[in-house]
């Protein structure tokens, strides 16, 4: 009985503390997009076909709908119509449109500025280069693209070396005898306690604070032991993935392109050399985004590194110019001009 009373007192105290936090900071949201994901035996997770709902954060509340092919996009047939040119976008949360409406995301802006292309957005929040390659291998190539654009983020480098990201198991490539070898496939499904932790973290401010301060966060999120200073980097794995993806895209009769979200930790010189050796055309997002920031334009969400509508617009227009199809747009600089 004393134990039950003690547990009840602790639960009541935590409940009152959570309520006090919600009353004092009603704008707090434990953001996450897991509700639109489903388990995938090869990719770890994929977008849930037909899913729809709201994605809410401290300063955004946007609609999310997933088409029947598992893309945050309008419907696209696998077989393209005669005379149509297609651009397939592979990326993570930046390409997926974290915190913005689909119509305001970089892929939609690119499509609006390049009416000669049918742009297909296959980005999935949380993906690294390894998952993007596997998606291309098993699904993306079926869309018969003419161009394949990879939106690269520097966290793809450690992501390519880990078999756990954001609390989810994922595939992992390793180099053995000079060759890429795929490991952790089929990807293990989540266990009941992992679902319970994720459910709690999506609903409780206190759980988030305890989780982050306890030292178990890196273990649950990335499979790293407590005290690990930083995520491991494995540039050779990412470089090999560039090589393999570029080779298969070329074999499919398409051109590989890559654009990087402005980076701080991964040297730009490495990316230039890696894409050059792989035969991937590198598109520039650094200069236009830096120029916008220098003009005082806020390009990210409040308190979050993801692009806001202005950031997506600037990135999409820059990519369109790189592809030579942005000229003639009379409303290129007006955010309210997007479809």
Residues 159-184: pLDDT tens digits? 998 999 999 999 999 999 999 999 99
pLDDT of residue 22: 66
For range 192-220, the mean pLDDT: 78
307-311: Cβ within 8 A, 24+ apart: 307/94, 307/100, 307/106, 308/99, 308/100, 309/100, 309/104, 309/335, 309/338, 310/335
Give the 3-state secondary structure percentages of the chain, helix then strand then coil, rounded to 5.
Answer: 40, 20, 40
Q: Specify if 52 maps to a domain.
A: no
Confidence grade of residue 33 (pLDDT, cut at 50, 70, 90): confident
Cα→Cα distances 68→16, 62, 74, Å: 43, 20, 9
* 70 vs 234, higher pLDDT: 70
State the distance between the two ends of the chain, measured CA to CA, in whole angstroms: 63
Residue 335 pLDDT level (bands cut at 50, 70, 90):
very low
Alpha-carbon span 173 to 164, nearest angstrom: 12
6 or 282: whose pLDDT is higher?
282
Q: Based on the domain organization, do 154 and 300 belong to the same domain?
A: yes
As a whole number, the mean pLDDT across the chain is 87
The pLDDT of residue 209 is: 74
Q: 35 falls in which pLDDT band (50, 70, 90)?
A: confident
How many other CB atoms sit within 10 Å of the CB of residue 299?
A: 20
pLDDT in tens, 117-156: 999 999 999 999 999 999 999 999 999 999 999 999 999 9
DSSP 3-state of 179: strand
Question: In the structure, what pLDDT confidence band is assigned to residue 224 with cuts at 50, 70 and 90?
Answer: confident
Calculate Rg over the CA atoms of the chain: 21
pLDDT mean over 251-275: 95
Q: Which phi and psi (to 5°) does residue 86 adopt?
A: -120, 145
- Are 98 and 216 found together in one domain? yes
Q: How far is CA 177 from the centre of its chain?
A: 31
Cα–Cα distances (Å) from 303 to 41, 62, 165, in that order, read 34, 17, 22
* Domain match, 115 and 233 both: yes
Residue 6 lies in a domain: yes
Same domain, 23 and 148: no
Check pLDDT > 70 for residue 69.
Answer: yes
49-53, 128-132, 218-222, 278-282: least confidently modelled range? 218-222
Confirm whether 339 is domain-assigned.
no
CB atoms within 10 A of CB 210: 15
Q: What is the CATH number of the domain that holds 236?
A: 3.40.50.1110
Residue 197 scores a pLDDT above 90: no
pLDDT in tens, 295-309: 999 999 998 999 999
DSSP 120: E
Cis omega (within 30 of 0) on the bond before 186?
Answer: yes
Token representation of residue 333: 């600089």
Portion of the chain with pLDDT greater than 70, in percent: 83
Print the domain residue range for 306: 38-45+84-326
**Number of domains present in the structure of the chain:** 2
Whether residue 76 lies inside any domain: the answer is no
How many CA atoms, within 13 angstroms, populate the side-chain half-sphere of residue 229? 1
Q: What is the dihedral of CA 168, 123, 309, 280, to 10 degrees?
A: 120
Give the Cβ contact number of residue 5 at 10 Å.
Answer: 9
Whole-angstrom distance, CA of residue 65 vs CA of residue 73: 8
Q: Residue 112 pLDDT more than 60?
A: yes
Rounded to whole angstroms, the Cα distance separating 326 from 7 reads 63
Residue 74 included in any domain = no
Q: Are residues 251 and 106 in the same domain?
A: yes
What pLDDT shows up at residue 151? Answer: 98
Q: Do 115 and 225 reside in the same domain of the chain?
A: yes
264 shares a domain with 125: yes
Domain for residue 146, yes or no?
A: yes
DSSP 225: P
* Position 36 pLDDT exceeds 90: yes
Same domain, 11 and 136: no
Q: Read off the pTM.
A: 0.89
Least confident of 23-27, 75-79, 225-229, 267-271: 225-229
Q: What is the pLDDT of residue 27?
A: 61
Residue 322 to residue 110: CA distance in whole angstroms? 11
Instruction: Average the pLDDT over 192-207 and give the result.
Output: 82
């Amino acid at each position: 009985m004393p134990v039950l009373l003690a547990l009840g007192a602790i639960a009541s105290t935590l409940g009152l503390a959570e309520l006090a936090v919600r009353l004092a900071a009603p704008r707090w949201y434990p953001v996450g997009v897991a509700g639109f994901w489903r388990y995938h035996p090869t990719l770890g997770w994929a977008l849930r076909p037909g899913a729809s709902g709201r994605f809410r954060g401290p300063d955004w509340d946007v609609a999310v709908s997933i088409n029947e092919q598992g893309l945050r996009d309008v419907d696209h047939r696998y077989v393209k119509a005669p005379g149509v040119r297609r651009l397939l976008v592979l990326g993570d949360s930046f390409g997926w449109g974290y915190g913005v409406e689909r119509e305001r995301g970089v892929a939609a802006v690119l499509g609006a500025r390049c009416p000669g292309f049918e742009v297909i957005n296959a980005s999935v929040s949380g993906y690294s280069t390894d998952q993007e390659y596997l998606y291309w291998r098993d699904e993306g190539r079926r869309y018969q693209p003419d161009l394949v654009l990879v939106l690269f983020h520097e966290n793809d480098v450690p992501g390519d070396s880990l078999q756990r990201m954001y609390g989810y198991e994922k595939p992992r490539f390793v180099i053995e005898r000079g060759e890429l070898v795929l490991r952790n496939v089929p990807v293990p499904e989540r266990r009941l306690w992992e679902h319970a932790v994720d459910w709690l973290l999506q609903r409780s401010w206190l759980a988030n604070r305890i989780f982050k301060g306890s030292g178990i966060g890196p273990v649950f999120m990335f499979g790293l032991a407590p005290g690990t200073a930083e995520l491991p980097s494995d540039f050779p794995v990412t470089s090999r993935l560039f090589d393999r993806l570029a080779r298969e895209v070329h074999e499919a009769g398409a051109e590989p392109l890559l654009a990087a979200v402005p980076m701080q930790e991964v040297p730009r010189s490495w990316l230039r050399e890696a894409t050059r050796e792989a035969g991937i055309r590198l598109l520039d997002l650094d200069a236009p985004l830096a120029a916008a920031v220098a003009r005082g334009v806020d390009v990210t969400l409040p308190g979050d590194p993801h692009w806001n509508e202005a950031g997506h617009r600037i990135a999409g227009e820059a990519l369109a110019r790189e592809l030579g199809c942005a000229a003639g747009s009379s409303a290129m600089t007006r955010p309210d001009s997007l479809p």
